[in-house]
Structure 1
Amino acid sequence: MAKIAVFGANGTVGTRIVDEALDRGHHVTAVVRDPSKYARSAPDLTVVTGDVLDPSSVASVAEGQDVVVSAVGGGDGKGHLAVIGPSAEALVEGLRMAGDAAPRLIAVGGAGSLRTPLGGLVWDAEGVPEDLLRTMHAHGDALDFYRTVDDVKWTNFSPSTSFAPGERTGTYRTALDDLVVDENGNSDISTEDYAVALIDEIENPRHIGERFTAGY
């Protein structure tokens, strides 16, 4: 079983990733700002203090891990703009400190830069709220940065356009840079099934050094 460190473990996405990993028997290190406020407990769960914006903190957390997951920077609040890009740079810098022993990185990305069936990008659609649009572009910039990195094993995982807590079905479809849509043109996935797909990628790596997405 893998040793997985999760930054943002107490967020909407992070909690699902932690739960899915623990349910499959992996050892999880939940990385949060205040461990006293983290309510989850399990035999294979360790809770530590960490700062995803501090490369030294990233390096410390990453020691002995197989995979580092970044589940920070979601939502559409302005505060996330101060995290998305800087965290990508700090994560890579921190993992570089470990050299050849560095664990793999999987970062939760955004859907904005995915191609739609009509050929445009999601963030080009009319009516996207301004705050959400800024968050989408921040994720896009972070992805552009990851694509310049060739000395850290990274994966960027974009969700569908509709992405919220719901049912865990255990089924999904994947693509690379194209939005996954159903026969009615809808693009959605629950945070629970997103976590399933992410842990599947950890257990059976198929997207090292690239972005992928998942949906129904």
Structure 2
Amino acid sequence: MARIIVVGGTGYAGAHIVREAVSRGHDVVAIARSTPEAPVEGAAYVQGSALDLDGLGDVFDGADAVVSAISPRGDMTDSALGALGALAAKLTGTSTRLGVVGGAGGSLIAPGGPRLFDQGFPEEYKHEAQVGIDSLALLQDSDAGLDWFFVHPAEVFGPWAEGERTGSYRDGGDVLVRAEDGSSTISGADFAVAIVDEIETPKHRRERFTVGY
């Protein structure tokens, strides 16, 4: 059993990760600024902000993994990257792994590039995608004492395309995963499966990877 902390644990990706980790018997703590309307039974919830790590006390002590599922939206629009930087600094030199939920925009569309972001990416999602790209760069430039992994979901991922839990997914390395029909999708539940699989059986130390069907 691992102790897993999910920062942003009541958001779309975060809530799915909390649910999947609890279902596998892990000790899970979800950190969020607000309490959830439908908490996951078996998870502990801590109310607080990723912008004030000191205010969270000793919640990170003894954690095997911390997953950042912070979305750069609302009042976190311009603060998400700074919050990740502070979290990375806090975990550097410890045995705690840092997992980061990214976006599809930074994925390559073919080996060697280019990125999906550079291929007519929708204007309304560009800021969020850029934060994801900058987050990956922050991790890649981090001290070797930080053990991290970064996960790009498929192109279609979110509450508007919820899907179901199948327990399966494909790992595309740094290339966006597409099905034979050209679609690129992953359900929230199966994205969480990939995250928890990586925590249980690490395959990507200081690396990114993509997931999709």
TM-score by length of 1: 0.88
Match of 2:198 in 1: 201
Distance 1:69 1:58, change over 3 A: farther
Match of 1:40 in 2: 39
- The offset of 1:59, in angstroms, is 6.9
> Deviating runs (4+, > 6 A) in structure 1?
none
SS of match in other structure, 2:39: coil
- Out of 133, 138, 151, the position equivalent to 1:145 is 138
Distance 1:56 1:145, change over 3 A: same
Distance across 1 between alignment mates of 2:123 and 2:91: 33
Indicate yes or no: 2:81 matched with 1:85: yes
Q: Is the Cα–Cα contact under 8 Å of residues 18 and 40 in structure 2 kept in the other structure?
A: no
- The offset of 1:134, in angstroms, is 1.4
- The offset of 1:88, in angstroms, is 1.5
Q: Deviations over 1:123-175 (max 9, x none)?
A: 1222x332301111111011001001121111111101100321001111002
Match of 1:6 in 2: 6
- Out of 66, 69, 84, the position equivalent to 1:68 is 66
- The offset of 1:94, in angstroms, is 2.1
SS of match in other structure, 2:6: strand
- The offset of 1:117, in angstroms, is 3.6
Distance 1:7 1:38, change over 3 A: farther
Distance across 1 between alignment mates of 2:108 and 2:85: 25
- The offset of 1:55, in angstroms, is 3.9
Distance across 2 between alignment mates of 1:133 and 1:34: 27
Q: Deviations over 1:72-122 (max 9, x none)?
A: 116xx46443233112201112223xx43x411101011111111494211
Higher mean alpha-carbon deviation, 116-125 vs 192-201, is at 116-125
Distance across 1 between alignment mates of 2:182 and 2:152: 18
Q: Is the Cα–Cα contact under 8 Å of residues 58 and 95 in structure 1 kept in the other structure?
A: no
Distance across 2 between alignment mates of 1:90 and 1:22: 26
- Out of 49, 52, 73, the position equivalent to 1:51 is 49
Distance 1:58 1:48, change over 3 A: closer
Q: Is the Cα–Cα contact under 8 Å of residues 9 and 15 in structure 1 kept in the other structure?
A: yes
Distance across 2 between alignment mates of 1:184 and 1:117: 16
- Out of 154, 173, 177, the position equivalent to 2:170 is 173
Indicate yes or no: 2:125 matched with 1:129: no
**Backbone CA RMSD of aligned residues:** 2.0
